[in-house]
C-alpha cells in the first residue's frame, strides 16, 4: 500500500445513493420574464430537490478525509488523453485515491470533454460534480460550442431575453458533455475602464441594468438544467490589479457596495442562483480594516454574504492557486482560511493531496469543527443529488454532436450577436454611406499571434458586392508590412481597421500596446476610417483619429459576420453600450441605423 495515499473506507450502499436523487421536482420561481421557449430541447435536464434525510445518511457514512475531499475541485484540461498519459494518471489519482468531490474541466472538444468526464466518473467512488467556466456560452472552454458575444455584448443588444437564451443553451450544451455546475454568470459591474480582468465579462456598469441580465441568465441556466454561480463576490469590477498576479484593494465603504456592487448579487440571490464565487480582493472597509482577500474573510463571506444577504447556497472560492492568495500566506494555509471564512468548495489548490491533508489536520486538532465541515459537505452532496448523478452519472457520448452547436442554437446565437453590434460614433457618416451601396474598402486587421481576424469579415463583404483589399498586420509590423497596409489604404476611399483586445489573466493590464495604438492612429489618419473592436470597447480612446467606431465584442467568425451585415446594410444596427466609454460617450450611447422610426 502506498503510505502517501489514504485508506479507502466502504461507501454507502447503492440503495442509499439511488434514494438520494428520487425527490420530486423543485418548484421554479421567477421574478423576471423569461425568453421564448416553444418546445423542449434535446439535452435539457430537470433539477430535483434532494431528500435531506438521505443526504444526511450518506454524509454519516463518510470519514473525515472523505468529507474533506468532497469539497476539493482540481482543474483538468478537457483534451483527449489516454489512461497512461501523465496528466490523466494524475487525474485518476485525484479521483480514485484522494476521492475528490469534483473536477473543473477546461479546454477541449465536446467529444473529448465528454469522454474524459465519463472515464473519470467510472472510476470515482462517489459521482463527481463537474464544473466549468462557461461565461457567455460554452465556447470559453469548449472548442465547438455555440458562440455568443461576451456578457457585455449580450447586454448591448438591450434584451434580457438574450441573456436567458445564452444561459439556457449553455446549460443544455454543458449537461450534454457531463458538466453540472457553471461558474457563471459574472455579476460584477465593470465600472473601471482599466480593469484588466473583468472588462467585457461583465454585463455592464449600471447596477439595475446588470441585475436584469444576471437574473435572466440564471433563469436560463436553471431551465436548461445546470447549476449557476454568480461571481466575483462582493464585486471585482472597480479594480486595476489582476488578482491572478497580486492582491487588488478596493477602499470604498459599505454605502458604495450596498448601492452599487452588491445590487446584482442580491438580484442573483432573488433569482435563485445556486452558488457564489468569492473575489480575491481586499476590502478593508468591509473587513474591519484588514488587508486580506475577501476569500479569506469571515466578515465578507459569512457576515455579508450569509448573514446580511441571506444566501444559503454553495460558496466557492476563486482559484486558490492565484497570486492574490498563494503568494500571501501559503497554499495550504489559504485553503484552511478560505474554509474558515465560509467557503464550501475549495477550487484549484496548488497541491490537491496537501490541501486535503491540511484540512484534515485542521479538523482533527479542533481548528475546524466537525459540524462546520458537515454543513459544507451536506451542501455539496445536495448539489449532486439535484443534478441526478447518483442515479445517472454517465452521459451518452454518441448524442453530444446532436446537442452541441445544433442548427437551432446557432440561429439564436446569430440573432443575439447581430443585436449586440454597437455603432458608437459615425462623425463623417462613413458607416451610413457604406451601408448605402458597395464600395472599395481597405480592411486592415491588427492582432497578436496567428489569429485570422478579418477573414470572415472580408469574405462576407465581398459576397455582398464590396471590393475588399485585406491586409493582415502583426502588432509590430515590419517596414514592408506597414507599406503594404498604407498602399491598400491610399487606394480605397474607406478604411476598416479591425482589432481585438481581450481581457486575460496574467497580463496585468488591458488595452492596445502603445506602439499598436500609435500605428492604428497613424493609419486611421490617412482616409475616413471605421475602427472595429472585436474585444474591449475602450480602445477608441487610444485611436482618436478614427471617425467611426463599431464594437463587435468577441473575436469570433459569428461576430465578424454580424459586423459585415451591419456595414453592408443587410441588418440594422441597434446596439447601445451598457457602459460609459471614455473620453466622452455616456452610458447607452449607440447610433441606430436601418431601424423603423
Catalytic residue numbers read: 244, 318
Pairwise CA distance, residues 364 & 373, whole Å? 11
Q: Are 264 and 210 in contact (CB under 8 A)?
A: yes
If you compute the radius of gyration of the chain from its CA atoms, what whole number of angstroms results? Answer: 25
Per DSSP, 303 falls in state I
Residue with cell 477573414: 455
Strand (E) or helix (H) holding 96:
helix 86-96
Nine-digit cell at 374? 458537515
Pairwise CA distance, residues 425 & 387, whole Å? 47
Per DSSP, 139 falls in state G
CB atoms near residue 270 (< 10 Å): 16
Pairwise CA distance, residues 504 & 536, whole Å? 11
> Between β-strands 275-278 and 72-73, what pairing exists: parallel, antiparallel or unpaired?
unpaired
The dihedral over CA atoms of 350, 121, 278, 282, expressed in degrees to the nearest 10, equals 0
Distances (CA, A) of 217 to 206, 214, 279, 309: 17, 5, 20, 20
Q: What is the DSSP string of 321-387?
A: TSHHHHHHH-HHHHHHHHHHHT-SBEE--SSHHHHHHHHHHHHHTTSS-HHHHHHHHHHHHHHHHHT
E strand residue ranges, 154-264: 181-182, 229-233
Q: Are 558 and 551 in contact (CB under 8 A)?
A: no
User: What number of residues does the chain have?
Assistant: 597
For the chain, first and last CA: distance in Å? 77
User: Which among 214, 212, 227 has a CA at the least distance from the CA of 136?
Assistant: 214
Distances (CA, A) of 525 to 16, 433, 528, 549, 567: 72, 19, 7, 14, 20
CB atoms near residue 487 (< 10 Å): 12
Q: Are 167 and 220 in contact (CB under 8 A)?
A: yes
Residue with cell 453592408: 568
Amino acid at each position: 500500500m502506498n503510505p502517501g495515499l489514504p485508506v479507502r473506507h466502504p461507501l454507502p450502499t447503492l440503495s442509499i445513493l439511488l434514494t438520494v436523487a428520487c425527490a420530486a421536482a423543485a418548484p421554479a420561481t421567477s421574478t423576471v420574464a423569461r425568453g421564448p421557449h416553444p418546445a423542449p430541447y434535446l439535452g435539457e435536464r430537470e433539477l430535483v430537490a434532494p431528500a435531506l434525510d438521505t443526504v444526511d445518511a450518506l454524509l454519516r457514512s463518510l470519514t473525515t478525509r472523505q468529507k474533506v475531499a468532497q469539497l476539493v475541485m482540481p482543474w483538468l484540461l478537457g483534451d483527449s488523453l489516454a489512461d497512461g498519459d501523465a496528466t490523466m494518471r494524475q487525474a485518476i489519482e485525484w479521483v480514485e485515491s484522494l476521492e475528490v468531490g469534483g473536477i473543473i474541466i477546461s479546454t477541449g472538444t465536446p467529444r473529448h470533454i465528454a469522454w474524459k468526464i465519463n472515464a473519470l466518473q467510472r472510476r470515482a467512488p462517489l459521482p463527481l460534480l463537474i464544473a466549468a467556466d462557461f461565461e457567455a456560452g460554452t465556447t470559453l472552454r469548449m472548442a465547438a460550442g455555440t458562440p455568443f458575444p461576451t456578457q457585455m455584448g449580450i447586454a448591448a443588444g438591450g434584451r434580457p431575453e438574450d441573456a436567458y437564451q445564452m444561459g439556457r443553451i449553455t446549460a443544455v450544451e454543458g449537461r450534454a458533455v457531463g458538466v453540472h455546475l457553471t461558474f457563471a454568470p459574472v455579476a460584477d459591474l465593470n465600472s473601471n475602464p482599466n480593469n484588466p480582468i473583468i472588462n467585457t465579462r461583465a454585463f455592464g456598469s449600471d447596477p439595475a441594468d446588470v441585475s436584469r441580465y444576471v437574473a435572466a441568465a440564471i433563469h436560463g441556466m436553471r431551465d436548461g438544467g445546470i447549476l449557476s454561480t454568480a461571481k466575483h463576490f462582493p464585486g471585482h469590477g472597480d479594480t486595476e490589479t489582476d488578482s491572478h498576479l497580486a492582491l487588488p484593494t478596493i477602499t470604498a465603504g459599505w454605502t458604495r457596495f450596498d448601492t452599487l456592487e452588491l445590487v446584482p448579487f442580491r438580484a442573483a440571490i432573488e433569482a435563485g442562483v445556486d452558488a457564489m464565487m468569492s473575489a480575491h480582493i481586499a476590502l478593508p472597509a468591509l473587513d474591519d480594516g484588514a488587508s486580506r482577500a475577501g476569500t479569506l474573510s469571515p466578515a465578507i463571506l459569512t457576515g455579508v454574504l450569509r448573514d446580511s444577504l441571506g444566501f444559503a447556497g454553495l460558496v466557492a472560492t476563486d482559484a486558490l492557486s492565484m497570486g492574490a492568495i498563494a503568494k500571501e500566506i501559503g497554499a495550504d494555509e489559504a485553503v484552511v482560511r478560505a474554509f474558515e471564512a465560509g467557503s464550501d468548495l475549495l477550487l484549484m489548490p496548488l497541491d490537491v493531496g496537501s490541501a486535503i491533508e491540511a484540512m484534515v489536520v485542521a479538523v482533527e486538532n479542533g481548528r475546524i469543527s466537525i459540524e462546520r465541515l458537515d454543513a459544507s459537505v451536506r451542501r455539496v452532496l445536495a448539489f449532486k443529488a439535484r443534478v441526478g448523478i447518483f442515479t445517472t452519472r454517465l452521459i451518452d457520448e454518441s448524442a453530444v454532436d446532436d446537442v452541441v452547436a445544433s442548427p437551432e442554437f446557432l440561429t439564436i446565437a446569430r440573432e443575439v450577436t447581430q443585436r449586440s453590434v454597437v455603432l458608437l460614433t459615425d462623425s463623417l457618416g462613413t458607416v451610413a454611406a457604406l451601408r448605402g451601396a458597395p464600395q472599395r474598402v481597405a480592411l486592415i486587421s491588427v492582432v497578436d499571434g496567428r489569429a485570422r481576424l478579418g477573414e470572415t469579415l472580408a469574405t462576407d463583404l465581398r459576397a455582398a458586392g464590396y471590393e475588399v483589399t485585406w491586409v493582415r498586420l502583426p502588432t509590430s509590423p515590419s517596414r514592408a508590412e506597414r507599406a503594404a497596409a498604407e498602399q491598400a489604404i491610399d487606394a480605397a476611399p474607406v478604411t476598416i481597421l479591425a482589432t481585438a483586445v481581450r481581457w486575460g489573466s496574467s497580463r496585468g493590464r488591458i488595452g492596445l500596446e502603445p506602439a499598436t495604438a500609435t500605428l492604428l492612429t497613424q493609419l486611421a489618419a490617412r482616409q475616413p476610417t471605421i475602427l472595429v473592436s472585436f474585444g474591449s470597447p475602450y480602445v477608441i480612446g487610444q485611436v482618436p483619429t478614427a471617425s467611426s467606431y463599431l464594437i463587435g465584442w468577441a473575436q469570433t467568425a459569428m461576430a465578424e459576420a454580424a459586423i459585415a451585415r451591419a456595414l453592408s446594410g443587410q441588418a440594422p444596427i441597434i446596439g447601445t453600450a451598457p457602459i460609459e466609454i471614455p473620453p466622452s460617450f455616456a452610458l447607452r450611447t449607440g447610433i441606430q441605423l436601418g431601424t423603423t422610426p
